[in-house]
């Protein structure tokens, strides 16, 4: 590991460039999930005025082992100092960057029925740097502002145009199953980067669009009543 070895990959197994860590390996989905949990924990610690935190303490908060915490962070670079732990504030920012939540991602909901309007006005989304822009629906009776935040609902016909014009990054799908594929395709074509779908239907979309499916009925069933 001496300076003469620089032509061969140096002692930096995962990170390409220290200033802007780009993960070379595929990051396990479980790690990405935990990243959000770390972000929240660090946010709380920061508000409480803490400057440093150890992997041990983060592990306690998340309910996992400290080795896992250290390994998770190691996917993205070196953030800690042996003997001292991790710097709360800058680690939080680093993770926000990794998750894209430093970008103020613009979110829209398509399908403003019961579930859709709940999601449109769900406070939890706005906390971590997401901004709810608008809703879309096919039904004219729903084309009005909703909830205390007065979020507007537009005709679904305007979906593509508004995604482009208002730079909507993420679309939340809460439409009937029959409509899902067509709506999702429109979103993808208009340049939406991610789709969170609450519709129990398989979506066929171009590779570069991130898709995350949430199936509420499945979640309920996965309580698994007979099995332990």
Report long-range pairs for 182-188 (Cβ below 8 Å, ≥24 apart): 183/110, 183/111, 183/156, 183/159, 184/211, 186/159, 186/160, 187/110, 187/159, 187/160, 187/163
For residue 24, the minimal CB distance to a copy of itself (Å) is 10
Residues 51-90 that bind DNA (CB under 7 A): 54-56, 64-68, 70-71, 73-74, 78-86
For residue 80, the minimal CB distance to DNA (Å) is 3
Residue 52 or residue 74: which is nearer to a copy of itself going by CB? 74
Q: Which residue has the tokens 């479980």?
A: 30
The backbone region for 100, taken as left when phi is positive above 0, alpha when psi lies in -120 to 50, beta otherwise, is left
Residues 66-95 that bind a copy of itself (CB under 8 A): none
Radius of gyration of the chain (CA): 21
* Contact of residue 43 among DNA, a copy of itself, none (CB under 5-8 Å per partner type): none
Measured in whole angstroms, how far is the alpha carbon of residue 94 from the centre of its chain? 14
- Report if residue 122 touches a copy of itself, rule: CB under 8 A: yes
* Contact of residue 152 among DNA, a copy of itself, none (CB under 5-8 Å per partner type): none
Q: Residues 183, 169, 149, 95: what is their CA dihedral angle, to the nearest 10 degrees?
A: 140
Closest CA to 118 of 96, 151, 85, 95: 151
Residues 2-41 that bind DNA (CB under 7 A): 11-14, 28-31
Task: Give φ, ψ of 48 to 5 degrees.
Answer: -80, 0
Q: Which spans of this chain sit near a copy of itself (rule: CB under 8 A)?
A: 23, 26-27, 29, 32-33, 35-37, 39-40, 63, 97-101, 103, 105, 107, 113-115, 117-119, 121-122, 124-125, 127-128, 130, 147, 169-170, 172, 193-194, 196, 200, 202, 210, 212, 214-228
Q: Which spans of this chain sit near DNA (rule: CB under 7 A)?
A: 1, 11-14, 28-31, 54-56, 64-68, 70-71, 73-74, 78-86
């Amino acid at each position: 590991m001496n300076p003469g070895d620089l032509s061969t990959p140096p002692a930096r197994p995962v990170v390409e460039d220290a200033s802007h860590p780009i993960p070379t390996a595929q990051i396990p989905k479980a790690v990405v999930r935990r990243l959000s949990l770390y972000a929240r924990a660090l946010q709380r610690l920061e508000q409480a005025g803490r400057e440093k935190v150890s992997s041990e303490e983060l592990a306690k908060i998340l309910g996992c082992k400290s080795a896992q915490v250290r390994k998770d962070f190691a996917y993205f670079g070196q953030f800690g100092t042996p003997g001292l732990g991790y710097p709360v504030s800058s680690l939080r920012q680093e993770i926000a960057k990794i998750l894209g939540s430093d970008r103020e991602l613009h979110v829209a909901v398509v399908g403003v029925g019961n579930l859709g309007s709940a999601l449109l006005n769900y406070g939890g989304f706005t906390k971590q740097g997401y901004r709810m822009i608008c809703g879309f629906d096919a039904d004219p009776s729903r084309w009005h502002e909703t909830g205390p935040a007065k979020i507007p609902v537009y005709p679904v016909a305007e979906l593509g145009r508004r995604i482009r014009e208002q730079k909507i990054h993420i679309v939340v799908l809460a439409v009937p199953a029959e409509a899902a594929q067509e709506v999702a395709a429109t979103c993808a074509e208009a340049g939406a980067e991610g789709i969170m779908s609450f519709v129990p239907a398989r979506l066929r979309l171009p590779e570069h669009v991130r898709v995350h499916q949430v199936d509420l009925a499945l979640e309920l069933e996965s309580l698994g009543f007979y099995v332990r």
